[in-house]
Amino acid sequence: MCKIINSSRNMDVISIKDFSKKKIENFLVESEKMFEYLKNNTVPKVMQDKILGTLFFEPSTRTRLSFTSAMYKLGGQVLGFGSTESSSISKGENLTDTIKVVENYCDLFTIRHPEEGAARYIADITDKPVINCGDGGNQHPTQTILDLYSIQKLKGKIEGLNVALLGDLKHARVMKSLASALCMFKANLRLISPVGLEIGPNTLNDLKKFNTDIFETNNIKEGLKNVDVIYVCRIQKERFDDVYDAQRLQREFRLKLDHLTNINKDLIILHALPKITEISPEIDNTPYAKYFEQVYYGIPVRMAILNMVVE
């Protein structure tokens, strides 16, 4: 099992960079066990005496609901909030006080917060395990484990695949986490983004340390040559200073059906969702679109994460 990251008291899931390849593989193996339990209706109720606190200071649908579903399927209970408007934060309560209160009611936390570093800060002030469900534009480690599991499940492997990451690579925490993990697993990256939304020199330098093939471009057609996986993310409009610029890019930078000519016939397309305009609707009906299967895999993966954290 994975070992403790930044505390002598519990295991936290804060950043994918905190884990070795072997530890991530443990998550994938445990996820496959949970997938089989679900398929055979034999899920062990290992969380029967546990309560999960879901503290989402930013909106979430799939991550929050999949963790809730995972906890229920493991026999546990859930409490928390899905927006700050429904909590005392709307009255001015600070983050530390919120955590110090809620830790009395639950055994572990899932956290989403708009500020980078918030999840690690929370892990430092509570004895309870903390699972980062997104901190600003920084990290989303459980989505990365889900993405790796989806690729391995659908393609049979990760190493050696040509994976295109397409969209807003500057702001998308999903892409930063996934890029690091894919390089760790020796996949080759095609980084495709609008001008000005590249992944950034610091992240790029970190990726190059893995000695995998990395290609950057602002041209969608050029970047999709000979790829096995296309992972699309939306333009992160809420992180733009100029909302009109974001809207322009939403209109212009899209994966279209004509981009999928002369491609590998076993190509898969993934997306963390929600998708807005970045994938043309007709692609949903092609055999390449696997993002709704990917959503389902979120349940066994988050079951595995919860189980491993409490173990």
pLDDT over 80 at 6, yes or no: no
Cα–Cα distance, 260 to 246 (Å, whole number): 25
- The residue ranking higher by pLDDT, 223 or 250, is 223
Q: Which CATH number, 3.60.130.10, 3.40.50.1370, 2.170.190.11, 3.30.590.10, labels domain 141-295?
A: 3.40.50.1370
Identify the CATH class of 16-140+298-310.
alpha beta
Summary mean pLDDT of the chain? 90
Task: Tell me what pLDDT residue 1 has.
Answer: 37
Domain with CATH 3.40.50.1370 in the chain: 16-140+298-310, 141-295
Task: Tell me what pLDDT residue 262 has.
Answer: 84
Please report the sign of the dihedral spanned by the C-alpha atoms of residue 23, residue 63, residue 159, residue 39. Answer: positive
Cα 175 off chain centre by: 8
Burial class of residue 11, CB neighbours in 10 A (0-12, 13-18, 19+): buried
Task: Tell me what pLDDT residue 7 has.
Answer: 38
Pairing of strands 162-166, 108-113: unpaired
Q: Tokens 């049979």 identify what position?
A: 156
Which has the minimum average pLDDT: 83-87, 135-139, 222-226, 280-284?
83-87
pLDDT over 70 at 77, yes or no: yes
With 0.85 as the threshold, say if the pTM is over it. yes
pLDDT over 80 at 8, yes or no: no
- Per-residue pLDDT, averaged over 215-227, amounts to 95
Residues 6+ apart with CB under 8 A from 174: 140, 143, 144, 147, 233, 272
Task: Tell me what pLDDT residue 270 has.
Answer: 98
- Per-residue pLDDT, averaged over 231-249, amounts to 80
139, 133, 82: which is closest to 108 by C-alpha?
133
- Per-residue pLDDT, averaged over 76-80, amounts to 96
Classified as helix, coil or strand, 108 is strand
Cα–Cα distance, 5 to 197 (Å, whole number): 31
- Per-residue pLDDT, averaged over 257-276, amounts to 92
Task: Tell me what pLDDT residue 251 has.
Answer: 83
- pLDDT tens across 157-213, in order? 999 999 999 999 988 888 988 999 999 999 999 999 999 899 989 889 999 999 999
Task: Tell me what pLDDT residue 59 has.
Answer: 84
Task: Tell me what pLDDT residue 3 has.
Answer: 35
